[in-house]
């Protein structure tokens, strides 16, 4: 895996959008002060691929991805692996409740030849190629297939914690063994041992469950099978016996039912015949009808007489004249009298208004003349004021003149200068002007007031004249309407006659209505009496129809009482005859029921012999007993088959438990783990020795003996000495060789084809002396010169950074960290 470009926004210290281009950085350094964010760059690479960072402590530290107060963090990594180019993106957001979750994660395979430098600086989700993974759940397998390393091996092969390998170089054999187990993942065998133990426990639990199930499957032997088969045979015999006896029982019950039905029919006839009774008051029904009809005839005669009188009064009222017209004429006389009085009042008001209006016009003319005089006086005051100013100016010149001096105005000699007046002429003229202006305003106010009064009196006069014209026109109209009309006294007498006739008509109409109501009640009484008569006949007909099957005698339709008497007498005789037949029919019922009871007892005995209770439906009970017996037999056969299957499962679980226990026992042995560690250590030391020989210019080989590391110094006649005798720079070379060898072994252990195209050492070099630092720098240069990997270093040591061709300077201010590329 080789990083090509890294984009971050809102990620830990990188609040602002930040882009790092690794395209041609074969050998680079991330430099900057401690805490500036150098290691965060590597964290972003790990986070984009795997969604976590070593120093976060797993996915529980997801909130660490967000910059302070940020609600979203975005990381995008473009990388090459195995000749293909990918882009991995992860987005983390904080929701409204403060929970931080992965909002988006994806891996895309970029098209061949895509120019990474043409990507925008943002983190937009534009399509960058084929989507390999689109959810966080799909990312793990997709990244494993693309990179070839799981998270734990990636952080040991690509991003190397160098200090741990220095500890590995100097550790005691037991400690080194544990480190090797952790780094090489040999703990997988312990996991296999645990899983084998768990598998054995599961198999044994299943074995115990099968044993418990078998313990519950009792009574499934051949004897139980024979018993169940015999029970089925007995129930089949029961079904046959019941099937033979049931028809006899049915015939006996049918005979008892028919005898009971005949007795019930006889009792029903007796009940019907005994219930025949004549209604109360049959004789009075016909007399009530005749009385009601006579009353109705009398009421009809009274209504006719009342209607004749009403019609006569209506004719007299029509001949008396039009009452409405007479009332209109009376109202016209009254209206004319009122209007005549109002007309006199209005004429007087018009005369008064004309006099007041003339006086107001005269007063307005006088006020306007006074205003004109005031304005003339004001104009004269203005002219006097101008003359006063000229006089005051001349007086002012006197103050500068002397007797015998030349006048500056007329240029003549002044023999004697006149005395200066004590008062100013302008002041007096000004006072006179103010008085004239006040008089003018007062005169104008009087003109406005009298003009308004004259206008208002004119409007009053116009309205009074208009009202006088309306009244004169209405009086003329009324005079025309009353021309030739009768006098008011005559009209009032005629209206009184109308009122008398109307009262008489209303009394007659009331009498008609009362008569009609009495006639209606009489007709209702007739209808009620006739309905009662019809109802009595209907009751008779219903009673006779109910006895039709017995053949009742014919009825006399002219005499209701005689008809009812004949019917009740006949019904009593028929009932008596049937009472005599009842005893024989009751005896037949008892005999038939006794026969049916005997057959039922015989069937009950059949059930008792089979050990079953008797029921009302013996056929169904027998069938159910047979079904239960057959069901018990089928259940027994199923349980026998289930027991056989459980025995087969038990043998399989027993074998599985034995194999798992044996595997767990083998993996629990220390010799197996020691053998694996020894083989891994041999391979590790052999690979590290070749790398160390190349890094040290052929001076050193690395060997081990009984768990201890040694170096063979070819510059000192092949002297073998402990690794603790190496200098700081030589120790770094040996540790780096072990790291590279171990990373290659880890890649070999990966389940996919790993592509180790880069390595980044996140290691502090500040404690090294100048000579050792020079050796470390030379070692890194030699490693970069091999050309098989991109080499990156995280350091804040300037002396080391200056020897690295490409540098990414990381800085941080109060808001965000920044990255700037320097060097070649």
Which pLDDT tens digit goes with each residue over 312-343?
Answer: 777 776 766 666 766 776 677 777 678 777 77
Band (pLDDT 50/70/90 cuts) for residue 751 is very low
Half-sphere exposure of 345 (CA within 13 A, CB side): 6
| CA separation for the pair 515, 528 (Å, rounded) | 20
pLDDT at 799: 84
- Report the pLDDT value the prediction gives residue 183, as an integer from 0 to 100: 56
Bridge partners of residue 704, in order along the sequence = 709
Enter the tokens of residue 336.
């004319």
Least confident of 157-171, 551-565, 605-619, 730-744: 157-171
Task: Return mean pLDDT, the chain.
Answer: 79
Q: How confident is the model at residue 481 (pLDDT cuts 50, 70, 90)?
A: low
Whole-Å CA distances, 272 to 265, 275, 543, 580:
11, 5, 9, 16
Angle made by CA atoms 666, 667, 673, in degrees to the nearest 5: 120
User: What predicted TM-score, i.e. pTM, was given to this entire model?
Assistant: 0.43
DSSP designation for 95: -
Provide φ and ψ at 487, rounded to 5°: -70, 160
What is d(CA 571, CA 542) in angstroms, rounded to the nearest whole number?
Answer: 14
Pick the residue with more confidence: 701 or 777?
701
79 pLDDT tier (thresholds 50, 70, 90): very high
**In the block, residue with structure tokens 């430098």:** 117
Sign of the alpha-carbon torsion through 638, 639, 644, 647: positive
For the ranges 180-189, 313-322, 513-522, 548-557, the lowest mean pLDDT is seen at 180-189
The answer on pLDDT for 711 being more than 80 is yes
Using CA atoms, how far apart are residues 380 and 436, in angstroms rounded to an integer? Answer: 9
Q: Which one-letter DSSP state was computed for residue 185?
A: T
Comparison of pLDDT for 202 and 306, the residue scoring more: 202
Instruction: Report the candidate in 781, 641, 673 with the shortest Cα–Cα distance to residue 190.
Output: 673
The predicted pLDDT at position 753 comes to 47
CA distance 240 to 233: 11
- Summarize the confidence of residues 281-299 as an average pLDDT: 76
What's residue 13's pLDDT?
92
Cα 262 → chain centroid: 74
User: Which is more confidently placed, 484 or 99?
Assistant: 99
**Which residue(s) pair with 560 in the sheet?**
none
pLDDT tens column, 798-808: 888 888 999 99
Please compute the mean of the pLDDT values over residues 13-34 and round it to a whole number: 91
What is the predicted pLDDT for the residue at 162? 46
The arithmetic mean of pLDDT across residues 613-634, rounded, is: 77
Res 106 pLDDT > 70: yes
Query: For the residues 723-735, what does the mean pLDDT come to?
Result: 81
Does position 608 have pLDDT exceeding 50, yes or no? yes
Of residues 643 and 232, more confidence is placed in 232
String of DSSP letters for 766-800 = TTS-HHHHHHHHHHHHHHHHT-SSEEEEE---HHH
Predicted local confidence at residue 491, as pLDDT:
63
- Which tops the pLDDT comparison, 227 or 492? 227
Could you give the CA distance from residue 437 to residue 385 in angstroms, rounded to a whole number? 13
Residue/partner pairs of 351-357 with CB below 8 Å, 24 or more apart:
353/457, 353/460, 353/461, 353/464, 354/461, 356/457, 357/454, 357/457, 357/458, 357/460, 357/461
Whether the CB-CB separation of 47 and 89 falls below 8 Å is answered with no
The residue that leads in pLDDT, 183 or 457, is 457
CA distance 147 to 139: 12
Tokens, residue 348: 């007087």
Sequence length of the chain is 824
Please report which confidence band the pLDDT of residue 304 belongs to, taking 50, 70 and 90 as the band edges: confident
Q: At what angle do helices 136-147 and 38-50 cross, to 10 degrees?
A: 110
Least confident of 129-143, 292-306, 310-324: 310-324
Rounded average pLDDT over 524-537: 79
From residue 82, give the alpha-carbon distance in Å to each of 128, 138, 757. Answer: 19, 20, 9
Out of 121-125, 151-155, 312-316, 718-722, pick the least confident.
121-125
Q: How far apart are CA 78 and CA 540, in angstroms?
A: 113
Q: What percent of the chain has pLDDT over 70?
A: 84
What is the tens place of the pLDDT at every residue in 372-388?
888 888 888 888 888 87
Check the CA dihedral 121-127-132-137 and report its sign: positive
Say whether pLDDT at 123 is over 60: no
Spell 603-641 as b/e; 16+ CB within 10 A means b: beebbeebebeeeeebeebbbebbeebeeebeebeebee
Q: Mean pLDDT across the stretch 693-706?
A: 86
Q: In the chain, pLDDT over 90 holds for what percent of residues?
A: 11
Beta bridge partners of 712: 701, 720
Which residues, other chains included, contact 419 with Cβ-Cβ below 8 Å and sequence gap of 6+? none
Over residues 407-416, the mean pLDDT reads 80
Q: Report how far residue 2's alpha carbon sits from residue 117's, in angstroms, rounded to the nearest whole number.
A: 16
Provide mean pLDDT across the span 625-632. 78
β-strand partners of 66 = 11
- pLDDT beyond 70 at 365: yes
């Amino acid at each position: 895996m080789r990083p090509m470009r890294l984009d971050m926004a809102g990620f830990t210290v990188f609040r602002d959008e930040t882009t790092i281009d690794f395209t041609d950085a074969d050998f680079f350094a991330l430099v900057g002060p401690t805490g500036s964010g150098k290691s965060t760059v590597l964290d972003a690479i790990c986070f984009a691929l795997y969604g976590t960072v070593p120093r976060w402590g797993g996915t529980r530290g997801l909130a660490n991805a967000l910059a302070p107060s940020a609600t979203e963090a975005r990381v995008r990594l473009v990388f090459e692996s195995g000749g293909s180019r990918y882009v991995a993106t992860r987005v983390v957001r904080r929701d409204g409740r403060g929970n931080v979750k992965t909002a988006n994660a994806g891996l895309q395979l970029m098209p061949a030849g895509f120019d990474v430098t043409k990507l925008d600086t943002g983190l937009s989700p534009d399509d960058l190629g084929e989507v390999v993974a689109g959810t966080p759940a799909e990312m793990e397998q997709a990244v494993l297939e693309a990179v070839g390393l799981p998270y734990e091996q990636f952080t040991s092969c690509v991003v190397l914690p160098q200090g741990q390998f220095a500890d590995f170089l100097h550790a005691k054999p037991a400690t080194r063994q544990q480190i090797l187990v952790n780094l090489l993942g040999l703990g997988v065998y312990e996991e296999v041992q645990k899983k084998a133990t768990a598998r054995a426990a599961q198999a044994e639990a299943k074995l115990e469950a099968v044993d418990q199930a078998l313990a519950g499957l009792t009574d499934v032997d051949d004897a139980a099978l024979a018993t169940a088969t015999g029970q089925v045979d007995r129930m089949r015999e029961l079904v046959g016996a019941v099937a033979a006896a049931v028809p006899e029982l049915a015939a006996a019950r049918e005979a008892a039912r028919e005898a009971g039905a005949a007795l019930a029919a006889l009792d029903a006839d007796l009940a019907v015949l005994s219930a025949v009774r004549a209604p109360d008051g049959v004789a009075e029904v016909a007399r009530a009808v005749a009385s009601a009809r006579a009353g109705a005839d009398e009421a009809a005669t009274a209504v006719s007489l009342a209607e004749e009188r009403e019609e006569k009064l209506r004719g007299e009222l029509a001949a008396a004249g039009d009452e409405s017209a007479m009332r209109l004429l009376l109202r016209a006389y009254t209206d004319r009298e009122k209007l005549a009085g109002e007309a006199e009042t209005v004429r007087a008001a018009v005369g008064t208004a004309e006099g007041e209006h003339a006086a107001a016009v005269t007063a307005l003319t006088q006020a306007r003349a006074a205003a004109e005089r005031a304005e003339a006086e004001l104009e004269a005051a203005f002219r006097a004021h101008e003359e006063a100013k000229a006089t005051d100016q001349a007086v002012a010149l006197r103050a500068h003149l002397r007797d015998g001096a030349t006048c500056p105005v007329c240029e003549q000699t002044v023999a004697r200068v006149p005395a200066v007046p004590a008062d100013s002429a302008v002041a007096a003229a000004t006072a006179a002007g103010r008085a004239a202006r006040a008089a003018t305003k007062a005169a104008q106010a009087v003109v406005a007031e009298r003009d308004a009064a004259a206008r208002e009196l004119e409007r009053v006069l116009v309205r009074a004249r208009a009202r006088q014209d309306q009244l004169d026109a209405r009086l003329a109209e009324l005079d025309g309407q009353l021309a030739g009309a009768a006098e008011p006294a005559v009209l009032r007498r005629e209206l009184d006659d109308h009122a008398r006739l109307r009262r008489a008509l209303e009394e007659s109409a009331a009498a008609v209505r009362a008569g009609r109501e009495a006639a209606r009640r009489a007709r209702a009484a007739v209808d009620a009496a006739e309905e009662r008569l019809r109802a009595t006949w209907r009751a008779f007909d219903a009673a006779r129809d109910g006895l039709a099957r017995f053949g009742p005698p014919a009825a006399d339709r002219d005499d209701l009482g005689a008809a009812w008497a004949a019917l009740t007498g006949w019904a009593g005789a028929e009932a008596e005859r049937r009472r005599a037949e009842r005893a024989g029919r009751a005896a037949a019922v008892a005999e038939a029921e006794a026969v049916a009871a005997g057959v039922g007892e015989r069937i009950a005995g059949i059930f008792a012999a089979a050990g079953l209770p008797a029921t009302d439906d013996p056929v169904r009970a027998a069938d159910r007993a047979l079904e239960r017996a057959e069901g018990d037999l089928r259940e027994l056969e199923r349980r026998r088959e289930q027991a056989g299957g459980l025995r087969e499962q038990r043998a399989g679980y027993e074998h599985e438990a034995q194999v798992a226990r044996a595997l767990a026992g083998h993996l629990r042995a220390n010799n197996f783990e020691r053998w694996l560690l020894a083989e891994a250590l041999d391979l590790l030391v052999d690979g590290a020795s070749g790398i160390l020989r190349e890094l040290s210019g052929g001076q050193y080989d690395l060997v081990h003996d009984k768990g201890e590391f040694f170096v063979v110094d070819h510059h000192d006649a092949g002297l073998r000495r402990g690794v603790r005798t190496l200098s700081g720079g030589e120790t770094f070379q040996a540790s780096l060789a072990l790291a590279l060898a171990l990373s290659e072994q880890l890649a070999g252990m990966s389940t996919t084809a790993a592509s180790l195209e880069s390595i980044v050492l996140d290691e502090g070099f500040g404690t090294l002396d100048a000579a050792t630092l020079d050796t470390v720098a030379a070692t890194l240069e030699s490693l970069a010169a091999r050309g098989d990997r991109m080499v990156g270093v995280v350091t804040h040591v300037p002396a080391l950074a200056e020897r690295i061709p490409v540098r990414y300077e990381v800085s941080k201010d109060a808001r965000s960290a920044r990255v700037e590329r320097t060097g070649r």
